[in-house]
């Protein structure tokens, strides 16, 4: 199975900050990488697919980049509604594994 | 409204069985692959099973042989039959719509249903 490792595991930031979360795959996955976020008690929500494609309706402050084994999710200017847990997921091969999550908290 | 609504969760003892349902509405259910993802309390997301449009099925090693995914396109409903349940199966179970093509991702999720396995 492909292992997905996110860093950091948790992050404190302030409204207006620029934030970057990293995801590393244990083997090359080309650009088969998706990002989700999840608020407490809620279902995950798709943000980015194919490493850099913004899902319809997702604000432009979210962006993704990377290919092969190293990927990043960037939030250009944090808004209050962005404080959540973020997950990367590979869809290169089954089983579609997720990263362990990055909890983004208010500083 | 485009949505997925899970049901069927509950509390049961180890070794028991349970059938989860996921009712889809607002989109052409029969044209999508569908997936179950679970999340143990305080933990991350774990892919469980997928059923494609052609009814081909896939399972994680942790549930293979115990869980069965199926769908009823006439009722726009996804199912997960769970047998020989263990404490480690305790989780919120989400159904998700899977976009397929050049890339694969889960673009629509239900709110989840909680399954608790405990003696």
Rounded Cα gap, residues A15 and A50, in angstroms: 27
**CB spacing of A95 vs B47 below 8 angstroms:** yes
| Contacts of A49-56 spanning 24+ positions with Cβ under 8 A | A49/B99, A49/B103, A49/B105, A49/B107, A50/B102, A50/B103, A50/B105, A53/B103, A55/B107
The predicted-structure confidence for B62-85, as pLDDT tens digits, reads as follows 999 999 999 999 999 999 999 999
Q: Decide if B5 touches A, using CB distance below 8 A.
A: no
Tokens of residue B4, six digits: 């997925």
Q: pLDDT-derived band of residue A107, with 50, 70 and 90 as boundaries?
A: confident
- How far does A100 lie from chain B, in Å, by closest CA? 6
Rounded Cα gap, residues A104 and B113, in angstroms: 25
**CB spacing of B109 vs A44 below 8 angstroms:** yes
- Residue B42 is predicted with a pLDDT of 93
Q: Which residue among B44, B103, B109 sits closest to A100, beta carbon to beta carbon? A: B44
Q: pLDDT-derived band of residue A66, with 50, 70 and 90 as boundaries?
A: very high
Tokens of residue A78, six digits: 């944090």
Question: CA-CA-CA-CA torsion for A90, A95, B96, B29, nearest 10 degrees?
Answer: 110
- How far does B48 lie from chain A, in Å, by closest CA? 8
- Residue B37 is predicted with a pLDDT of 98
- Residue A72 is predicted with a pLDDT of 98
- Residue B101 is predicted with a pLDDT of 86
Residue of A nearest to B4 (CA): A43
Question: Partners of A90 in the beta sheet?
Answer: A33
**CB spacing of A95 vs B44 below 8 angstroms:** no
């Amino acid at each position: 199975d492909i292992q997905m490792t996110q860093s950091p595991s948790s992050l404190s930031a302030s409204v207006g900050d620029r934030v970057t979360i990293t995801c590393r795959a244990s083997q090359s996955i080309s650009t088969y990488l998706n990002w989700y976020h999840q608020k407490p008690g809620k279902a995950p929500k798709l943000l980015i697919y194919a490493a850099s494609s913004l899902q319809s309706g997702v604000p432009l402050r979210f962006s993704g980049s990377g290919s092969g084994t190293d990927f990043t999710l960037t939030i250009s200017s944090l808004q209050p509604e962005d404080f959540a847990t973020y997950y990367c997921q590979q869809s290169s091969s089954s089983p579609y594994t997720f990263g362990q999550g990055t909890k983004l908290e208010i500083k | 409204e485009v949505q997925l609504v899970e049901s069927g969760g509950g509390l049961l003892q180890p070794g028991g069985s349970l059938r989860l349902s996921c009712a889809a509405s607002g989109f052409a259910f029969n044209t999508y692959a569908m997936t179950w993802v679970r999340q143990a309390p305080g933990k991350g997301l774990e892919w469980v099973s997928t059923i494609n449009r052609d009814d081909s099925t896939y399972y994680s090693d942790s549930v293979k042989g115990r869980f069965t995914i199926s769908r009823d396109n006439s009722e726009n409903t996804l199912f997960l039959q769970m047998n020989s349940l263990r404490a480690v199966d305790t989780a919120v179970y989400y159904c998700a719509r899977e976009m397929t093509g050049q890339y694969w991702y889960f673009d629509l999720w239900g709110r989840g249903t909680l399954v608790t396995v405990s003696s």
